[in-house]
């Protein structure tokens, strides 16, 4: 895996094509959704040929039924389940087979290694998360240890937990780290900088401006990771601040509105195929982010293509009466951890009233009052204090013209 990052372009493209052919062959044989005629294209001769397949969006997968995208040989107990709600508020359950999940975990280690020695297996890491994490086997062995701090806790609680750890590294969504930075006093930053060596960001867009704020604020380099629950690890930063596509697991295309690939250096929509996935293959999956791609060798020596992300999934938030923010990630955490929520949307009106709209999943056999109580309790627990919110039932959620709903919208301005 470490060598793959330095293979020449021809070798990388050959491996990608072989991976895509195997993934398509498996999907055609085993997965109901791909028996559709539009996938009856034979064996793709090259990457351009593969790009003639239809694109998939989350809404398409949900409309067709998630089960139609799953290989019946895999049962829920045999896979790693990642539930995504994202900024659209629609909930999709992505299944990852054991081999692909293991590869993702190894990529996570490669990602930390790319930080050029600023992070070691025994480093103390503080992870800001909107919801609890599973502990991986290697963390139980005492390496790649992390302590989790819930991002919705009051900022003084977060800072106290952070200081107790004397961390070498921080990891979190860019918006959560920026929020932390705003809440820290100058003398607390001085103490933190004594041990801190690196900041890792994850899951969403890191703009050059936010990267600059975090680098200057924390006084250490920032390393981003680009991932999605449907695909897991997609790309990672090198010490040159370049975001490299993990071409040994995903094929990233940048496409125009019609789904046709655009040349390198041209901005377009990000479409990803995780060609190792067998449990629930999503071929040419549209992620909703925009980027440009560059395939020339990076200053760090890696040959994996690079992405410049230009527009991403939203970092929306609501503001509590104490002036602190709760980001979309926390509501996503509630939606995916509360059985019986099919869709979720959050609105804050100009007066500051927060309404959480839930579309119940009838299959869970749970009354709405019970569901609302569970959602409210999850949010209050995660925030470490109660706050006023109205939980209401919806039949469906409003979508914008492009078919994409905004998950969290706040009209409240202090
Ligand atoms: Zn590089």
Could you report the per-residue pLDDT of 274-292, keeping only the tens digit for each?
999 999 999 999 987 888 9
Please determine, for residue 220, whether its predicted confidence score (pLDDT) is greater than 70.
yes
pLDDT value at position 403? 37
| Token output for 366 | 């749970």
Pick among 3.40.50.280, 1.10.760.10, 2.130.10.10, 3.30.1010.10: CATH of 119-220:
3.40.50.280
Its CATH class, for the domain covering 3-102+227-311, is alpha beta
Whether the pLDDT of residue 213 is over 70: the answer is yes
How remote is the CA of residue 379 from the centroid of ligand 1, in Å?
39
Distance between Cα 3 and ligand 1 center (Å): 14
Tell how far the Cα of 16 is from the centroid of ligand 1, in angstroms: 20
User: 267 or 137: whose pLDDT is higher?
Assistant: 267
Ligand 1 center from residue 192 Cα (angstroms): 28
User: Quick check: 314 pLDDT over 70?
Assistant: no
User: What distance in angstroms lies between residue 21's CA and the mean position of ligand 1's atoms?
Assistant: 28
Ligand 1 centroid to Cα of residue 22, in Å, is 29
Which sequence spans correspond to the domains of the chain? Answer: 3-102+227-311, 119-220, 317-410
Helix (H) or strand (E) holding 29: helix 9-30
More confident residue, 375 or 409: 375
Q: What is the pLDDT of residue 335?
A: 80
C-alpha of residue 295 to centroid of ligand 1, in Å: 11
The Å distance, Cα 238 to ligand 1 centre, comes to 5
For residue 41, report the distance from its CA to the centre of ligand 1, in Å.
36
Least confident residue range of 10-14, 140-144, 202-206, 244-248:
140-144
Q: Is 0.85 surpassed by the pTM of this model? A: no
Ligand 1 centroid to residue 7 C-alpha, Å: 13
How far, in Å, from the CA of 297 to the mean position of ligand 1? 8
Q: What is the pLDDT of residue 401?
A: 42
Q: How far does residue 101's CA lie from ligand 1's centre (Å)?
A: 24
How many whole angstroms from 245 Cα to the centroid of ligand 1? Answer: 10
| pLDDT for 287 | 87
pLDDT for 86 = 58
Domains 3-102+227-311 and 317-410 share a fold: no
**pLDDT over threshold 80, residue 194:** yes
- Sign for the CA dihedral angle at 23, 107, 330, 308 comes to negative
| Predicted pLDDT of residue 203 | 63
Alpha-carbon torsion (28, 32, 35, 38), positive or negative? negative
Stretch among 8-17, 42-51, 287-296, 314-323 having the lowest mean pLDDT: 314-323
CA of 47 to the centre of ligand 1 (A): 23
CA atoms of 89 and 404, how far apart (whole Å): 9
| CA–centroid distance, residue 218 to ligand 1 (Å) | 22
Ligand 1 centre and the CA of 208: distance in Å? Answer: 16
Cα(237) to ligand 1 centroid in Å equals 7
Q: How far is the CA of 113 from the centre of ligand 1 (A)?
A: 12
pLDDT over 50 (residue 402):
no
Share of the chain above pLDDT 70, in %: 91
Q: Does 236 have pLDDT greater than 90? A: yes
Residue 406: pLDDT over 90: no
Statement: residue 50 has pLDDT above 60: yes
261 CA distance to ligand 1 middle (Å): 23
CA dist 61 and 8 (Å) reads 35
What is the reported pLDDT for 35?
A: 96
- Asked if residue 312 has pLDDT above 90, the reply is no
Burial of 266 (0-12, 13-18, 19+ CB in 10 A): exposed
Average pLDDT in the 183-207 region? 89
| pLDDT value of position 311 | 65
Ligand 1 centroid to residue 212 C-alpha, Å: 18
Rounded average pLDDT over 242-246:
96
For residue 189, give Cα distances in angstroms to 39, 157, 181, 215: 55, 15, 8, 13
> How much of the chain, in percent, has pLDDT values that exceed 90?
57
Least confident of 45-59, 188-202, 326-340: 326-340
In this structure, whether the domain defined by 317-410 belongs to CATH 3.30.300.30 is answered with: yes
How many angstroms separate the alpha carbon of residue 108 from the centre of ligand 1? 16
Angle at the Cα of 204 (from 135 to 165), degrees rounded to 5? 45
**What is the distance in A from the centroid of ligand 1 to the CA of 5?**
9
């Amino acid at each position: 895996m470490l060598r793959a990052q330095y293979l020449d372009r021809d070798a990388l493209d050959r491996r990608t094509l072989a991976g895509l052919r195997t993934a398509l062959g498996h999907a055609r044989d085993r997965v109901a959704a791909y028996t559709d005629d539009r996938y009856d294209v034979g064996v793709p001769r090259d990457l351009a040929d593969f790009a003639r397949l239809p694109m998939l969006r989350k809404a398409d997968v949900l409309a067709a039924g998630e089960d139609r995208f799953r290989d019946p040989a895999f049962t829920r107990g045999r896979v790693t389940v990642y539930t995504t709600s994202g900024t659209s508020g629609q909930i999709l359950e992505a299944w990852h087979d054991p081999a692909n999940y293991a590869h993702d975990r190894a990529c996570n280690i490669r990602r930390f290694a790319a930080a050029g020695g600023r992070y070691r297996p025994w480093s103390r890491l503080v992870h800001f998360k909107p919801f609890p994490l599973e502990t991986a086997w290697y963390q139980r062995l005492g390496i790649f240890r992390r302590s989790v701090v819930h991002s919705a806790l009051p900022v003084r609680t977060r800072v106290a937990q952070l200081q107790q750890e004397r961390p070498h590294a921080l990891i979190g969504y860019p918006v959560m780290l920026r929020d932390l930075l705003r809440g820290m006093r100058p003398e607390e930053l001085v103490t933190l900088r004594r041990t801190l060596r690196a900041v890792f960001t994850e899951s969403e867009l890191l703009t050059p401006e936010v990267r600059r704020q975090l680098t200057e604020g924390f006084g250490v380099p920032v390393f981003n990771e680009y991932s999605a629950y449907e695909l897991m690890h997609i790309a990672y930063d090198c010490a040159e601040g370049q975001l490299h596509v993990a071409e040994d697991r995903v094929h990233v295309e940048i496409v125009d509105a019609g789904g046709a690939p655009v040349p390198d250096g041209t901005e377009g929509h990000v479409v990803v195929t995780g060609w190792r996935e067998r449990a629930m293959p999503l071929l040419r999956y549209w992620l909703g982010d925009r980027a440009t791609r560059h395939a020339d060798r990076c200053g760090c020596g890696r040959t994996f293509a690079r992405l410049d992300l230009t527009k991403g999934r939203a970092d929306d938030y609501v503001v509590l009466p104490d002036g602190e923010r709760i980001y979309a990630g926390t509501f996503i955490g509630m939606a995916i951890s509360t059985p019986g929520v099919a869709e979720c949307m959050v609105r804050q009106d100009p007066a500051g009233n927060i309404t959480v709209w839930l579309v119940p999943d009838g299959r869970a056999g749970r009354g709405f009052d019970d569901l609302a109580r569970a959602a409210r309790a999850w949010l209050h627990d995660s925030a470490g204090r109660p706050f006023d919110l109205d939980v209401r039932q919806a039949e469906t959620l409003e979508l914008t013209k492009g078919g994409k709903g905004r998950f969290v919208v706040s009209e409240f301005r202090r």
